[in-house]
Amino acid sequence: SAVISQKPSRDICQRGTSLTIQCQVDSQVTMMFWYRQQPGQSLTLIATANQGSEATYESGFVIDKFPISRPNLTFSTLTVSNMSPEDSSIYLCSAEKGIFEQFFGPGTRLTVL
Amino acid sequence: DAKTTQPNSMESNEEEPVHLPCNHSTISGTDYIHWYRQLPSQGPEYVIHGLTSNVNNRMASLAIAEDRKSSTLILHRATLRDAAVYYCILRGISGYALNFGKGTSLLVTP
């Protein structure tokens, strides 16, 4: 199994600012992903965080808005840049270890005023 | 991506079995059927997965139709802690993100 922690757990930010969310896994994993869950909605994939190379973004998400780093096999960051109220969501990271099971962090609840 | 269809919500009494259905008529031969659940204010957690045969683990059972166009997640004795949104997801063998649909919101009443 894998235990995932995220920092911060929640934050309230002003529009126009940026927030970096950290995701730490307690063991080495192959794949890491970032999702967004808007209020009352399901999870939407933002990007796949690739170790040592640029992240792979899903349609509708761009690197300038959501830069992602993954410097090693246990850590990744997601930055939400130039925030607006529409970015208010829960941001979750997940990691795949082995073949089938993905483990999720508890999420970061972001409110943008 | 092949899509899944689930009821928006279901209700069960505590300690009764629960059968959560999922239709996936466009499933491909290499798609595995995964189930995750999301408890309130938590990240999703893995429940079970299968390819063709029925599967059992400590959390649940997965019954897969012979033509693989539908499946059913079975909780043998629902508890209040099982109240969650249950997601049925199709995915290739590894290395792919999960495509979450809307899921089924399960309400368990005492």
pLDDT of residue A53: 86
Per the prediction, chain A carries an average pLDDT of: 95
pLDDT of residue B2: 66
pLDDT of residue B97: 84
pLDDT of residue B92: 79
- Residues of chain B where predicted confidence (pLDDT) is lower than 50: none
pLDDT of residue A52: 84
Shortest Cα distance, chain A CAs vs residue B92, angstroms: 9
CB A6 within 8 A of CB A108: yes
Residues in chain A with CB shorter than 8 Å from the CB of B100 are: 35, 42-44
DSSP string, A12-66: EE-TT--EEEEEEESS--SEEEEEEE-TT--EEEEEEE-TTS--EEPTT--TTTS
Cis, peptide link before residue A71, omega less than 30° from 0 = no
Nearest residue to A24 via CA among A83, A86, A69 = A69
| Per-residue tokens: A98 | 């082995």
Of the partner residues B32, B44, B49, the one whose CB lies closest to the CB of residue A43: B44
Q: Does B99 touch chain A if contact means CB atoms closer than 8 Å?
A: yes
Taking only the tens place, the pLDDT of each residue in A70-95 is: 999 999 999 999 999 999 999 999 99
Taking only the tens place, the pLDDT of each residue in A54-72 is: 999 999 999 999 999 999 9
For chain B positions 76-95, those within 8 Å of chain A (CB to CB) are 85, 87, 93-95
How far apart, in whole angstroms, are the C-alpha atoms of residue B27 and residue B68? 7
CB B6 within 8 A of CB B21: yes
pLDDT of residue B95: 62
Taking only the tens place, the pLDDT of each residue in A95-104 is: 988 777 899 9
Q: How many CB pairs under 8 A join A and B?
A: 56
Residues in chain A with CB shorter than 8 Å from the CB of B85 are: 42
pLDDT of residue A100: 79
How far apart, in whole angstroms, are the C-alpha atoms of residue A16 and residue B37? 34
